[in-house]
Amino acid sequence: MTFSAQLRRPLAWFALGLLGIALAGCGYNNVPTLEEKAKAAWSEVQNQYQRRADLIPNLVETVKGYAAQEREVLTAVIEARAKATQVKVDASTISDPAKFKEYQDAQNQLTGALGRLLVTVERYPDLKSNQNFLALQSQLEGTENRVAVARRDYIQAVQDFNTEIRTFPGVIWAKVFWGAKPMETFTATAGAERPPAVKF
C-alpha cells in the first residue's frame, strides 16, 4: 500500500465527519426533530381526549339517577362521545386539513355537550352534594384543563415545525430531502367565548 493510499482512507473519514457536522449545523436534522416533537404533542392531545371519553360514561350514569327527565342532554352527551371516539386522526394524517377539521368538530361537539350537561346539573341540589358526582366532575374539569394544556403544547410544536419548513434553510431540507407538509392546528370554535345556554 502506498503512502497516498494510506492517507486517503483517514482523509475520507475526516471528510465524512466534516460533512456530518456541516449537515447537523445547517439545520438538516431540524425538520424531522420538530416533526417528531409535534407528533408526540399530538399523541398527548389524543391521550387527554381518550381520558375524557373514558370518564364520560361514569358521569352520565351518575347523573341519570338524579336527572331522569334530562334525557335530551344526556343523550346528546352520549351521542357526541360516540362520534368523537369514531373520528380518528393519527400522527400521519395531521397534515390533512379536512380530516383534522372533522376530528376537531367532533371534539368541539363533545365539549359543548359536556358544558350543557354540567350547567344542567345545577338544577339538582342532591346531585351537587353527591360524592360520586363531585369526584367525577372534578376529574372531568381536570381533564378539560389537561386537554387545554395538551392542545397548547401541540399548537406550539406545530408552529415551530411549520415555521421551520417555511423558512431558510429549513425550506430546502423540507422540500428536497423530507417532503414535509405543514401540519394542521386547532382553531377556536365559533361562539367558544360564550358559555353554553341552558333554558329552564
pLDDT at 69: 75
| Alpha helices (runs of H) in the chain, residue ranges in sequence order | 3-25, 30-66, 71-86, 97-120, 125-129, 131-166, 170-172
C-beta of residue 184 within 8 angstroms of C-beta of residue 157: no
Read out DSSP for 152-171? HHHHHHHHHHHHHHHSTTHH
C-alpha cell recorded at residue 110: 363533545
Q: In this predicted structure, what is the pLDDT of residue 157? A: 96
The distance from CA 200 to its chain's CA centroid, rounded to whole angstroms, is 35
For the whole model, what pTM was predicted? Answer: 0.75
CA dihedral 58, 64, 65, 67 (to 10 degrees): 140
Cell of 116: 350543557
Model pLDDT for residues 78-116, shown as the tens digit of each residue: 999 999 999 888 888 888 999 999 999 999 999 999 988
The mean pLDDT value of the chain amounts to 84
Contact 189, 199 (CB under 8 A): no
Q: Which phi and psi angles does 189 have, rounded to 5°?
A: -75, 145
For residue 53, what pLDDT band results from cuts at 50, 70 and 90?
Answer: very high
Q: Is 32 exposed, middle or buried (0-12, 13-18, 19+ CB in 10 A)?
A: middle
Quick one: pLDDT at residue 49? 93
In this prediction, residue 195 carries a pLDDT of 47
Model pLDDT, residue 130? 85
